Structure 1
Amino acid sequence: MTRKVVILGATSAIAEATARLYAAEGAALVLVGRNAGRLAEIAADLKARGAAAAEIEATDLANPHDAAAQLQALASRLGGLDDVLLFYGVLGDQARAEADMAHAREILDVGFTSAAEWCLAAANILEAQGRGALVVIGSVAGDRGRQSNYVYGAAKAGLGVLVQGIAHRLALRGRGARAVLVKPGFVDTPMTDHLKKGGPLWASPEAVAQVVRKAADNGGPIVYAPFFWRFILLVIRLVPAPIFHKTRL
């Protein structure tokens, strides 16, 4: 049976790598994002890689008009819905966000408020049909507030709690639908081009995509990508505040 997948934020590097995995399986996809030209390029590549269909929907995900109706329309285009993957967000600039409330609001609105609407809409559709997966890209930045990125971290922390709650809700209903929060660490993407890269903590989009694809089929409600971030963040969360506040993380 052809897998039917909606990808929200399809132009992100991790989203594109994940879409290629689905394409190799012959899935039918709808790619959603703002840049119609880039979406068309990705869609053409996915068809060449074996996708049964690769349609595009150019829209501003950060400003949904009616997320439930929009998502239902995308599902209708596919003739059904198996997976909803959410990848979009904005890292922003922490120093600027501390002084510019409009920039802080943008980070929070994009990373949490709008994303929450899409997640809730997806959860309702998946619960009603009794199957499918919602997979959301969070971040290890949401595990503990750090002076270097706490506005972005707050958005991801809020989104993480929301997805965990959806996962709990769907599990209690016991009808087969599920939700998963994937928390990557450092990933070599255009969003992190301003950071110094290299070393064992950095992962490729392709490596994270493998985790995302697996998460859509099975696993717990929270998955770290790569797995070792679970243990790194456990240590960071357990450091007492008086000690933690002397670091410059």
Structure 2
Amino acid sequence: MRRIVIFGATSAIAQAVARLFAADGARLFLVARNAERLDAVAADLRARGAGTVATATADLADEGAHAALVAQAEAALEGLDAALIAHGTLGDQSRSESDADAALAELRNNFLSPASILTHLANRMAAQGHGTIAVIGSVAGDRGRMSNYVYGSAKGGLRVFVQGLRHRLGKSGVSVVLVQPGFVDTPMTAGVANRGGPLWAKPERVARDIRRAMDRGGPAILYTPWFWSPIMTVVRNLPDAVFRRTKM
């Protein structure tokens, strides 16, 4: 029976992943900011067959709380086999361009906070010699674009951090997977214009890919759905002279 901690457990993608693990009887520890929503998610997972479900309410922007949360999860589950870091924000790019505090908050929520949790999890799992950590990034982190470069730079920093962490942990028995979703139909993307179409995926589709990657301990970078890998290969390799003429 696997023991899994999920940070940002009330997000749409995290809930979809948790339901897959619950159906197999996994023991879960859920962390999120909204206590009422967290209780509802926990009740749903118990009904779906989770072995146990414990919860903690926390603002994950508070890096000082992360060590205690990881320790609490480990104690509640009597060990940790896997973790999913799924929290983050999709702030207003225009506001971040004119308001440095808003830009810094976006960087903290999407890079500094996940990096802090990753560090605490990695150290504990390396000491025990096994474990899998998955963290949700974004294709926005593959190349800076005018439409979302503040959010994208946070996810780009997370990408490099995870690559280095995976390299560091290569011989420790701990796997680290960076999940790179494209457009996903969730409450977080509700304000995005022109939603829908073949490039948009449901959380359940993304969750199945994440579950598979967590079971296998890889790949190092998971593009989901799969077609985002060739798309972002093209975007990353566009010559700068061409790229600057686009409106991405």
Contact residue 36 and residue 56 of structure 1 kept, 8 A: no
Correspondences of 1:89-168 after superposition (within 5 Å)? 89-168=88-167
Q: What amino acid is aligned across from residue 179 of structure 2 in structure 1?
A: V
Residue 194 of structure 1: which of 183, 191, 195 is its match?
Answer: 191
Q: What amino acid is aligned across from residue 209 of structure 2 in structure 1?
A: V
Of 102-111 and 60-69, more deviation after overlay is shown by 60-69
Aligned-partner Cα distance in 2 for 1:97–1:238: 27
State how many pairs are aligned.
Answer: 246
Residue 205 of structure 1: which of 203, 206, 209 is its match?
Answer: 203
Q: Does 1:177 align with 2:174?
A: yes
Q: What amino acid is aligned across from residue 105 of structure 2 in structure 1?
A: E
Aligned-partner Cα distance in 1 for 2:51–2:187: 28
Of 64-73 and 31-40, more deviation after overlay is shown by 64-73
Aligned-partner Cα distance in 2 for 1:87–1:240: 33
* Offset, 1:66: 4.2
Give the RMSD, CA atoms, in angstroms: 0.9
* Offset, 1:67: 2.1
Aligned-partner Cα distance in 2 for 1:170–1:116: 15
Of 12-21 and 175-184, more deviation after overlay is shown by 175-184
Q: What amino acid is aligned across from residue 210 of structure 2 in structure 1?
A: V
Instruction: Using structure 1 for the length normalisation, give the TM-score.
Output: 0.97
Of 162-171 and 32-41, more deviation after overlay is shown by 162-171
Aligned-partner Cα distance in 2 for 1:36–1:163: 29
Q: Identify unmatched segments of 5+ residues in structure 1.
A: none
SS of the residue corresponding to residue 223 of structure 2 reads strand
Name 1:222's counterpart in structure 2: 221
Q: What amino acid is aligned across from residue 28 of structure 1 in structure 2?
A: R
Correspondences of 1:50-89 after superposition (within 5 Å)? 50-89=49-88
% same residue: 52
Q: Identify unmatched segments of 5+ residues in structure 2.
A: none
Correspondences of 1:15-54 after superposition (within 5 Å)? 15-54=14-53
Aligned-partner Cα distance in 1 for 2:64–2:196: 40
SS of the residue corresponding to residue 62 of structure 1 reads coil
Aligned-partner Cα distance in 2 for 1:214–1:176: 18
Aligned-partner Cα distance in 1 for 2:129–2:141: 30
* Offset, 1:212: 0.9
Aligned-partner Cα distance in 1 for 2:238–2:98: 29
SS of the residue corresponding to residue 67 of structure 1 reads helix
Structure 1 residue ranges, 4+ long, deviating more than 4 angstroms after superposition: none
1:126–1:52 CA distance, 2 compared to 1 (3 A): same
SS of the residue corresponding to residue 65 of structure 1 reads helix
